[in-house]
Structure 1
Amino acid sequence: MNFVEARLAKLARNGDRAAFAELVELYKDKIFHLAYRMLNNKQEAEDAVQETFLRVYTNLHRYDENQKFSTWIFRIGTNLCIDKLRRRKNTYSLDAEMPEGEGSDYYSMLPSNEATPEKQVIVSETQEQIRQAIDTLPEKYKSVVILRYLHDMSLQEIGDVLNMPVTTIKTRVHRGREYLRKRLEQNEQLSI
């Protein structure tokens, strides 16, 4: 357990606003990265970060000092993102504006026919295919895959964050990886 974080949490629980501000500073980027990867929307990710810290602040009295603070805050952030994903309505339109693009729409995201260096195209296409494949993961696999591969958490840490047995996490990571592999193979076959 990180002694500094535990001390900061204890001080924050006792009303020390500077200690809470330090906790925010330590975790805001990590929670944003998690939320952005899960929600794939900058505005929703920013909202999730704010909601996470609001919940942390209002529930500091519930924080168990025997638990790693990082585990506790990641659990709160992950659960918020899962809730947001469940509330989403899957409506798609080719004319819908992209979340981050000022005035861009799905038409502008279609690949152009302009020549670019081959390697750059392959890398960006591969990254885009992986991102799209992760976006299609069922939510029970999405959170574990993001925590495992994008946040480099151990299976035990993910189990602690999601409050699940490590065996369940191991199974979900395996099934999520298999789902991604099949999805990427389908994309490869479609592009041939």
Structure 2
Amino acid sequence: MGAEQSIEVRAAGGDRAAFTALMTTTKADLYRFVRRYVGDEAEAHDVLQEAYASAWLAMRRYDPSRPFDVWLRSIALNKCRDWSRRRAVRRVVRGVMGLDAPEATAVGDEVPMPEARLDDQRRVEALQRALSDLPDALKAPLLLATLEGRSHAEIAAILRITPKAVETRIARARKRLAEGLARSPREGA
């Protein structure tokens, strides 16, 4: 290794400026992943901040020989899973299953073609519900592959499973997603 240390090595050594630079370069991609996972913009920002806070606290344990984005993605995925568990607990405590669903907070707008807009909105809501119903073990590989275009090998490294397990989980996720969409109620039909 030369005299100049990589930004990851400097961050692992406690250099806040280096860590901030790493955050800047990874924030957009990581936010997109978290946003798709949790399904809510405000919650995604909170989960993202939790992920970066945890990464900073664990930074001294980071192994610079391992890709930083894979290490960080693993932390973010764990934070997403924590969020899912907390959300499930809140649902049980409330005794209802849909208070935080997008349709509960939807506000109508004036649109020239309301039927088309409503159909589109229903499709998006059905997809979001079907995604949120997927178990974490299926949701994570599907989102990493489809939204981020990651290879099975990269996903396997992030999730600490085999590439074959990634392939199987993605196939199962797609099947369950299709089944969920097929079962989705068609209001007004």
TM-score bucket of the superposed structures, by smaller chain: 0.7 to 0.9
How far apart, in 2, do the equivalents of 1:179 and 1:191 lie?
24
Give the fraction of aligned pairs with identical amino acids, expressed as a percent: 26
* Counterpart in the other structure of 2:136: 139
**After superposition, what is the alpha-carbon deviation per residue over 1:101-125, rounded to whole angstroms, capped at 9, x for unaligned?**
xxxx72x63989x861665554443
Question: What's the secondary structure of 1:59's corresponding residue?
Answer: helix
Match of 1:152 among 126, 143, 149: 149
Matched positions, count: 179
Structure 2 unaligned segments of length 5 or more: list them. Answer: none
Does the C-alpha gap of structure 1 residues 138 and 110 become closer, same or farther in structure 2, counting only changes over 3 Å? farther
Cα pair 2:14 2:59 within 8 Å, conserved = no
Cα pair 2:30 2:48 within 8 Å, conserved = yes
* Counterpart in the other structure of 1:67: 66
- What is the TM-score when the length of structure 1 is the normalising length? 0.78
How far apart, in 2, do the equivalents of 1:189 and 1:49 lie?
34
Cα pair 1:42 1:99 within 8 Å, conserved = no
Match of 1:126 among 104, 123, 126: 123
Match of 1:165 among 159, 162, 167: 162
Aligned-pair distance for 1:17? 2.0
Does the C-alpha gap of structure 1 residues 157 and 140 become closer, same or farther in structure 2, counting only changes over 3 Å? same
**After superposition, what is the alpha-carbon deviation per residue over 1:141-171, rounded to whole angstroms, capped at 9, x for unaligned?**
1111111112221111111111111111111
How far apart, in 2, do the equivalents of 1:31 and 1:44 lie?
14
How far apart, in 2, do the equivalents of 1:43 and 1:19 lie?
27
How far apart, in 2, do the equivalents of 1:51 and 1:41 lie?
15
Aligned-pair distance for 1:87? 2.5
* Counterpart in the other structure of 2:171: 174
- What is the TM-score when the length of structure 2 is the normalising length? 0.79
Aligned-pair distance for 1:191? 6.9
AA at the equivalent of 1:176: A
Aligned-pair distance for 1:126? 2.8
How far apart, in 2, do the equivalents of 1:61 and 1:110 lie?
46
Aligned-pair distance for 1:133? 1.3
Q: Does 1:47 align with 2:46?
A: yes
Q: Does 1:183 align with 2:180?
A: yes
Aligned-pair distance for 1:175? 0.4
CA RMSD between the two structures: 2.9
AA at the equivalent of 1:177: R
**After superposition, what is the alpha-carbon deviation per residue over 1:85-113, rounded to whole angstroms, capped at 9, x for unaligned?**
1222224377x4x588xxxx72x63989x
Does the C-alpha gap of structure 1 residues 99 and 182 become closer, same or farther in structure 2, counting only changes over 3 Å? closer
Cα pair 1:9 1:60 within 8 Å, conserved = no
Cα pair 1:41 1:99 within 8 Å, conserved = no
